[in-house]
Each structure stands twice: as C-alpha cells, then as structure tokens.
Amino acid sequence: MSLIVALLLSFILTPKPVLVERAFFVMGTVIEFSLYCQNKEFCNEAIFEAYSEVKRLDDMLSNYKTDSNLSQVNSHAGKGRIKVPPEFIELTGRAVYFSDLTDGAFDITVGELIDLWRNGQQKDNMPDEKVIKRTVSECVGSKKISLYPREKEIELKSSCLSIDFGGIGKGYAVDRALKILKAKGIESGIINFSGNIYAIGSPPGEEGWTIAIRHPRMKDEALTSIKVRDMAVSTSGDYERYFEINGKHFSHIIDPRTGYPVESVPSVTVVAENATDADALSTAVSVMGKEKSIETLEKLKRVGVIIVTGPKGNLSIYKDSFFKGFEIPEPDSH
Ligand code: AMP
Ligand code: MG
C-alpha cells in the first residue's frame, strides 16, 4: 500500500517537462533549439551553452570573417603548413573521407569555383569556360590537402586552393551543440540548423520526433514526414539558395569535377547517426544523382535517403530500404 502511495506522490510531485524554444542567427542563418526540461532555466542555460559553441565554430570556420581560422588557412594556401584548432582537423578529415567515398562529388575545395559563380552572378555574366576548366584542374581536389593531426597542422598544396565548409559545417555545428546538450543531461529535443536536424530522444510519451520534409515546389507544405529518435536528418533543396545569371537559376551545389552547377535535384534528405555525415551526404547525393547515390550509400550503415526528382506536379519520391518500419505517410498528390 505504502509503495502505491509513494509512487503516486512521486508522480504528482514530479514536474511535467516544459518545452523551451529559442532561435539564434549564426553562420548566416538560423539555429533553432526546442528542448524538454524539468524547468525553463535549465533549458535556457543548456541552450545558451550550445549556442555559444556554435558561435565559436562560426568564428573558426566562416569564410566571411577575415580573422577566422578558415580565412587564415585559405590565405596561407601554397605557403606550407599552418596551425589550426583540433575541430578544424576533425572536420576537414571527415570532409576528405566523404570526398574519397563519393569519388570527388563532395569536395570542400570547391571554394574557388563558388567564387567564380558568385562573381558571375554579380556581373550577370556566365563564368568563362576556360577559366572554369583551369580552376578545376589547378584549384580543386581534396588530394591537395595534407593533414597533420598530431601537430594540429594543415597544408593546402596549391596556392589557389580554397576550402568552403558550406556543405558540412552546419551539420558539424549541430553535432558539437548536441554533445553539450547531452553532457548537460538533455534527453528530449530538436536542434534545427537550417535543414540540418538532430532529434534527441522523443517528445514525452511518444516514440520519436515527427520530422516533416518540405515540399520543394509548394512553400509551407510538407511533402512527407518521418519519425526518428537519436538520429540526424539533413535536407538539401534547390528551392532556397541558387545563383542567378541572365535570369537563369543555377544550383548552389557545384560538381567539383566539371566546375559547373549540378542539374538541380528538387530535394534530398539523408538520415544518419550524426549530423556531420547527414549534411555532407545530402550535398553529395545532389551531385551524384539517384543511381550512383544508392550504390554509394549502400556501403554505409544506418544511413537512409529520400530523393525527390521530377517536375512540379509530377514529383517522384524514392525512399531506400532504411525507412522500412518508419512511419512515412504517402501524400495524396505531389
Ligand atoms: P548544402 O546546403 O548542405 O547542400 O551545402 C551547399 C553548400 O556547400 C554550397 O552553398 C557551397 O558552399 C558548398 N558546396 C557546393 N558544392 C559542393 C560540393 N560539391 N561539395 C562540397 N560542398 C559544396
Ligand atoms: Mg550539406
């Protein structure tokens, strides 16, 4: 009897978890935290610590900030080794791994190509074919990066090599923020950094977080949704960022092997165990296309992909076998 009373009392006295939602502007976009905690102050403290870490990474990895480690590394290209923080080595190492895995479809050394296309947009003039070709052969390729993890040094072996973490950095920041939240004891919540999501545990009383995947052609509409817990979900779409030259839209994702923007894929979603991998892979799938992506991702464990192709009104959704058992309601019409 007394056990029942004790259990009842503890149920009544244990406060219901509160949901705290905060958003910050960083890395040129918005990071949103939605966490469940026993009290608001605890959540706020955890969120602020996680955000501070993301801010620290922005100061390190930004290619807009002239005093960032990345800007220093890029301006040291072709001039030998340079010291960098351990996170810089870790992230670059992971990026190089994905470059190898995808036969160069994903490559953080696209920096110089991005500049070419951005300049093209500013001048409303297509980049010159010969310049693109020369840039690809001289200024692109992860093989031109040497990492020295023990010495915490990096060397860019061509003077025009330029690293751009745009395809992987936000995912990495999510993983670092997650580490802090977990150390604080957060067991339920969502981090959403501009399409790079990590779902921690599940909302109280539920099996997982329902993540809606945006319709690439209808703003504010969901195309489909998935339910996940303790997984990262990253979506790359052609609907938010692009280069515009002579009234034509070009994808912001460049094929590092040709130097040209990829034929746009309306939307790619990758589910993986960490947000760094999900981010890199969603960008890589946009370059590799459906068949090659399926073949490449089959080699990886606990990775799932949803690829949306086709024109408006006739979109087709491919989901790989990873999603068997996940709750994915089919939309009535695409
Ligand atoms: P995401 O939105 O994660 O797909 O990343 C796109 C960003 O990654 C672009 O805006 C570029 O900064 C960078 N990027 C473009 N093409 C590539 C590529 N092939 N490999 C790696 N990063 C890329
Ligand atoms: Mg990405």
Q: What is the pLDDT of residues 144-203, one digit of tens each?
A: 999 999 999 999 999 999 999 999 999 999 999 999 999 999 999 999 999 999 999 999
Q: Is the CB of 237 under 6 A from ligand 1?
A: no
CA 280/CA 285 separation, integer angstroms: 9
Per-residue model confidence (pLDDT) at position 10: 63
pTM score over 0.75: yes
Give the distance (Å) from ligand 2 centre to CA of residue 171: 7
In ligand 1, the atom with minimum distance to the C-alpha of 106 is 20
Q: Is the CB of 141 under 6 A from ligand 1?
A: no
Tell me the pLDDT band of 53, cut-offs 50, 70 and 90: very high
Q: Tell me if 170 sits within 8 A of 27, measured CB to CB.
A: yes
Share of the chain above pLDDT 90, in %: 76
Instruction: Find residue 112's DSSP bridge partners.
Output: none
CA 215/CA 237 separation, integer angstroms: 10
* pLDDT exceeds cutoff 50 at 64: yes
Mean pLDDT of 127-131: 97
Q: Is the CB of 238 under 6 A from ligand 1?
A: no
Q: In sequence order, what are the residues at sequence separation of 6 or more whose Cβ sits closer than 8 angstroms to the Cβ of residue 212?
A: 222, 224, 225
Mean pLDDT of 90-119: 97
User: Best substitution site from 113, 117, 283, 286 to test ligand 1's pocket, by max atoms within 8 Å of Cβ?
Assistant: 283
Q: What is the dihedral of CA 254, 135, 103, 292, to 10 degrees?
A: 40
Query: Where in 219-315 does DSSP place strands (E)?
Result: 222-228, 231-237, 242-245, 248-251, 267-272, 304-309
In ligand 1, the atom with minimum distance to the C-alpha of 255 is 19
211: closest CA among 170, 178, 220, 195? 195
Give the distance (Å) from ligand 1 centre to CA of residue 2: 61
CA 137/CA 93 separation, integer angstroms: 22
Per-residue model confidence (pLDDT) at position 330: 46
CA-to-CA separations, 60 to 17, 65, 73, in angstroms, rounded: 35, 9, 11
253-290 tens-digit pLDDT: 999 999 999 987 888 999 999 999 999 999 999 999 99
200-252 tens-digit pLDDT: 999 999 999 999 988 888 888 888 889 999 999 999 876 667 888 998 888 89
Residue 212: DSSP 8-state = E
